[in-house]
Amino acid sequence: MKQANALCCLMFLAGGAWAGTVEPPLQIGGAFSVPTTSLRELRFRSTIRQQFDFSCGSAAIATLLAHHYRHGVNEQTVFEGMYRHGDQEKIKREGFSLLDMKRYLQTLGFEANGFEATLEMLGRANIPAIALIQEQGYHHFIVIKGLRQGRVLIGDPSGGLRAMSQASFQQIWTNQILFVINNQQDRARFNLDAEWKIVPRAPTDLAINRNGLGSMLLPKLGPGDF
């Protein structure tokens, strides 16, 4: 998991834009400041970043609670609670398990379980879920934040918010298990427009000429050109 996290960090740092304040020059009246937000900051706005190599589980739970069930926690609080109630030696070797998550959520009044299910079933339930994926040879917990038009919106504790096709997700989602909160579903937030706007579709339609074949073959004549 260390190599996977390091790779994610390198890719993220290379692709992120600088954040701060932009001061564009003006011809009249001096300059004004425009606050900016980097892509990196946007990707972690609603996804809590893991602080340790083996803490993707606690970061996923913190993301689920804080951003989908309006239960304010941070990763440190979740990490300490899951570690305190879990098999500490096993956690040191393998990281957190779904059982550790279940036990911790019970202490907060949330009932949760893992189910063998499909993305279509999750979409009908309209609730977020935690899933275990395998990328670059490493297992990793993520939060499924939304499903829309054949795409899966993912809150990744190591890389932030991202989206991929359902077909691509199926290839890395190896066990087909969805970990969901069974109760308090009236509090659940799923498929939020604000999150989808951060990962829009590639504007492939802009490369398509929609004027038709005629415009490619016939000259556009102006007055007096005939």
Q: What percent of the chain has pLDDT over 90?
A: 61
pLDDT at 9 over 60: no
φ and ψ at 60, to 5 degrees?
Answer: -65, -40
Look-up of token digits 């932009």: 22
Those residues with Cβ within 8 angstroms of residue 17's Cβ, 6 or more apart along the chain or in another chain: 36, 38, 39, 40
Q: Which residues pair with 20 in a beta bridge?
A: 36
User: Which of these, 165, 161, 154, 109, lies nearest to 128 by C-alpha position?
Assistant: 154
> Which residues are identified as catalytic?
56
pLDDT at 37 over 70: no
What pLDDT, in 10s, does the model give residues 59-90?
999 999 999 999 999 999 999 999 998 889 99
Those residues with Cβ within 8 angstroms of residue 191's Cβ, 6 or more apart along the chain or in another chain: 126, 145, 146, 147, 148, 153
Q: Taking every pair of C-alpha atoms in the chain, what is the biggest distance, in angstroms?
A: 87
What pLDDT, in 10s, does the model give residues 126-173?
999 999 999 989 999 999 999 999 999 999 999 999 999 999 999 999
Q: Are 15 and 159 in contact (CB under 8 A)?
A: no
Q: For the chain, which domains are there?
A: 37-193 (3.90.70.10)
DSSP-derived letter for residue 197 is T
Q: Which residues pair with 130 in a beta bridge?
A: 143, 179
DSSP-derived letter for residue 25 is -
